[in-house]
Amino acid sequence: MRIPLGWLGEMVELGSKVTPNDVMAELVKVGLEEEGSHGGDISGPVVVGEVLSFEAEEQKNGKTIRWCQVRVATSGDEEIRGIVCGAANFVAGDKVVVSLP
């Protein structure tokens, strides 16, 4: 089972400097086995992008994805990237976080 630290922090007091490894060590002390920790590691640089346009496309599972055209600036060079997104809480012109490969 995966347990996000944010969710666990709503149930018990963790403290501001608790790491996933700290939590795993405490769980082992009380006899609970852990298999590993999965972080939200980011593999590339994170930049700000501007949504230029998007097209919504409904999927067979009933969810909607959005094919977005996003202007990103890396090292002073602007380029437009196609990004697939499942979020619905944005409009053209919004600034968004983009994790580049």
Taking only the tens of pLDDT, the chain with its 101 residues reads 677 888 888 888 988 888 888 888 888 899 888 777 776 666 678 889 999 999 999 999 999 999 999 999 876 778 999 999 999 999 999 999 998 88
Give, rounded to a whole angstrom, the gap between the first and last alpha carbons of the chain.
Answer: 29
In the numeric block, the tokens 């053209």 are attached to 92
> What contacts 17, CB < 8 A, 6 or more positions away?
none
Domain extents in the chain: 1-41, 46-99
> Residue 27's pLDDT is what?
85
> Residue 40's pLDDT is what?
64
> What contacts 15, CB < 8 A, 6 or more positions away?
none
Strand intervals (E) in 4-91: 46-58, 64-74, 77-85
